[in-house]
Amino acid sequence: MRETTKRKLFEATLRLSASRGLVGLTVDDIAAEAGVAKGTVYYNFGSKDGLVDALLRFGVDLLAGRLRAAGSDDDPLAVIEAQVDTTLEFIAEYPGFSQIVVSELWHTPGRWHDTLALLREELIAVVKAQLERLRAAGRLPAGLDIATAAAGLFGTMLVVALDWQVFHPARDRADVLESVMVLIRGLRR
């Protein structure tokens, strides 16, 4: 499949799901929105579920790559700040993707739960690596459960970013970032 066709199908799915959710979408709807024949979806993905699965993998790979790229600073707290900002930027760019992830991730058990569970682990591992660096630098309590803290930070990043997009879109991204970082730094500047 040509990359442009795949991208068109992903973007059409994101646009439609943002307003209608995934469950009510049909292959006909997605194909019409993308401007391709219905058979294109079936030929390349097998089904709507196959398309959504590929979309989720594509989006998570994109976000994970951006989070890893944000990890170049020596100070792990600066890296975490860059990762939170990267997540805010990503969700502003792809709000439909983020809505799918949040709604399906905690929809028990959702249609794409197995795929999302694997993808969630990939993203949390990137965050976890920085928290482990913070602990190694003596900036986190020794007994802290890093896996739980990483899941909490990842969840915070997703939910705060979506809250910003849905309820406070006029707020400046830097202000939203600072609000999250105050909590991460321990409620003091």
Range of the domain at 25: 1-46
- Between 97 and 75, whose confidence is greater? 75
User: CATH no. for residue 8?
Assistant: 1.10.10.60
* Per-residue pLDDT, 14: 83
pLDDT by residue (tens digit) across 82-135? 999 999 999 888 888 887 777 777 666 667 777 888 888 988 999 999 999 999
Q: Which of 72-76, 130-134, 182-186 ranks highest by mean pLDDT?
A: 130-134
Q: pTM here?
A: 0.83
Statement to judge: residues 115 and 166 lie in one domain? yes
If pLDDT is split at 50, 70 and 90, which confidence band does 9 have?
very high
What is residue 45's predicted lDDT score, i.e. its pLDDT?
Answer: 92
Residue 3 tokens read as 């990359």
* Overall domain count for the chain: 2
Question: Is pLDDT at 59 greater than 70 in this prediction?
Answer: yes
DSSP conformation letters of 68-117: HHGGGSSSHHHHHHHHHHHHHHHHHH-HHHHHHHHHHHTSTTPTTHHHHH
Residues 39 and 72 occupy one common structural domain: no
Residue 40: the pLDDT is 93
Based on the fold, state whether residues 60 and 36 are members of the same structural domain: no
**Residue 16 above 90 pLDDT?**
no
Identify whether residues 6 and 73 lie together within a single domain: no
Residues 58 and 23 occupy one common structural domain: no
pLDDT band at 1 (very low <50, low <70, confident <90, very high): low
Mean pLDDT over the full length of the chain: 87
* Sign (positive or negative) of CA dihedral 69, 93, 174, 126: negative
One domain for residues 157 and 141: yes
Clarify whether residues 112 and 82 are in a common domain: yes
Check whether residue 37 and residue 91 sit in a common domain. no
